[in-house]
């Protein structure tokens, strides 16, 4: 069964897509984001604006999802939607139990939804299908899914806007295309993976050569250097926060990722932008903007 989200706009130019409001004496409520887990052990990001909360991916166990939401004084019943970037288990592990026990609206493009149903042998869950590159809305959130390069059915990143702010989230991708750079321009918060350090990946004795080739391919993951170049290219006066996610436990470290990105930002005269490395197996600090 499926539903199709409404599409209030057809113009996918990010500059036209974001809200433009006249000056007001009142301050809009903050847009907040909290990563509940990030990495191969499980990914989930909580977005909140005004009275609406949505989850991007549900790759940690249901129990951990409940515990980590509880630490923020929230429950699963507080969620208005779950949006899915792609079908890999570190982004979808909680879905079978979530679907059985809760009635949270699920959003995915059709290829991703079909891959998830096949993967977990799900029978007729209700999906809200979105179309990649076509915006839709969930309450105050205006969502633009855009294509990324990863070894999944139809993987996406999201550009998500509220009346006051905008955020882009890119969890898994093997290369930064012009389309990706276009969609992350002028956001206020950028969440982007910095998966591996090339030297550590090359020296890693746990992974076979074929796995290393997959990770470093155009359909794998971003290295620290690729991430740093993307951030430096997209950095603008609008960018207030950077969150590095999906760091490899064996082939990266927060120190390496931070230093690589900081050096690139320094060279591009954007060294003032704060950078947070998301925690792998715990709740990261909440960012408001």
Q: What is the pLDDT of residue 23?
A: 38
Q: What is the pLDDT of residues 50-59, one digit of tens each?
A: 999 999 999 9
Q: Are 256 and 10 in contact (CB under 8 A)?
A: no
pTM over 0.75: yes
Q: Are 85 and 38 in contact (CB under 8 A)?
A: no
Q: Within a 13 Å sphere around the CA of 284, how many CA atoms are in the beta-carbon half?
A: 27
Q: How much of the chain, in percent, has pLDDT values that exceed 70?
A: 91
CA distances from 231 to 47, 228, 256, 264 (A): 21, 5, 16, 8
Q: What is the pLDDT of residue 40?
A: 96
Tokens of 74: 């929230």
> Cα–Cα distance between 56 and 145 in angstroms, integer?
12
Residues contacting residue 125 through CB under 8 Å, at least 6 positions apart: 1, 99, 106, 117
Banded pLDDT at 6 (limits 50, 70, 90) = very low
What is the per-residue burial (b if ≥16 Cβ within 10 Å, else e) of 216-239?
beebbbbbbbbbbbbbbebbeeeb
Q: What is the pLDDT of residue 28?
A: 83
Banded pLDDT at 129 (limits 50, 70, 90) = very high
Q: What is the pLDDT of residue 14?
A: 40
Q: What is the pLDDT of residue 4?
A: 58
> Cα–Cα distance between 158 and 39 in angstroms, integer?
18
Q: What is the pLDDT of residue 247?
A: 98
Lowest mean pLDDT across 25-29, 31-35, 232-236: 25-29
Q: Which domains does the chain have, with CATH numbers?
A: 31-288 (3.60.15.10)
């Amino acid at each position: 069964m499926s539903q199709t989200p409404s599409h209030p706009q057809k113009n996918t130019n990010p500059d036209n897509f974001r809200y433009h409001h006249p000056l007001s004496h009142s301050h809009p409520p903050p847009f907040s984001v909290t990563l509940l887990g990030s990495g191969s052990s499980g990914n989930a990001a909580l977005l909140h604006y005004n009275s609406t909360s949505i989850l991007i991916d549900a790759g940690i166990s249901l129990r951990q999802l409940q515990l980590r939401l509880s630490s923020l004084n929230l429950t699963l019943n507080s969620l208005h939607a779950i949006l899915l970037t792609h079908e890999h288990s570190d982004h979808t592990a909680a879905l079978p139990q979530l679907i059985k026990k809760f009635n949270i609206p699920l959003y995915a493009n059709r290829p991703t939804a079909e891959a998830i149903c096949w993967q977990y042998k799900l029978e007729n869950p209700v999906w809200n299908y979105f179309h990649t590159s076509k915006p839709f809305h969930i309450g105050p959130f205006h969502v633009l899914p855009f294509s990324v390069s990863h070894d999944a059915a139809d993987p996406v990143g999201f550009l998500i806007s509220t009346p006051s702010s905008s955020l882009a989230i890119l969890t898994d991708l093997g290369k930064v295309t012009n389309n990706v750079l276009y969609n992350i321009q002028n956001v206020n918060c950028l969440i982007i993976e910095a998966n591996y350090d090339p030297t550590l990946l090359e020296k890693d004795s746990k992974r076979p050569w074929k796995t290393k080739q997959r990770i470093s391919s155009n359909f794998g993951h971003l290295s620290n250097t690729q991430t740093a170049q993307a951030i430096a290219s997209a950095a603008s006066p609008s960018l207030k926060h950077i969150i590095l996610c999906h760091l490899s436990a064996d082939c990266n470290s927060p120190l390496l990722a931070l230093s690589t990105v900081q050096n690139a930002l320094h060279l591009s005269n954007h060294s003032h932008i704060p950078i947070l490395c998301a925690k792998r197996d715990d709740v990261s600090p909440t960012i408001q903007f």
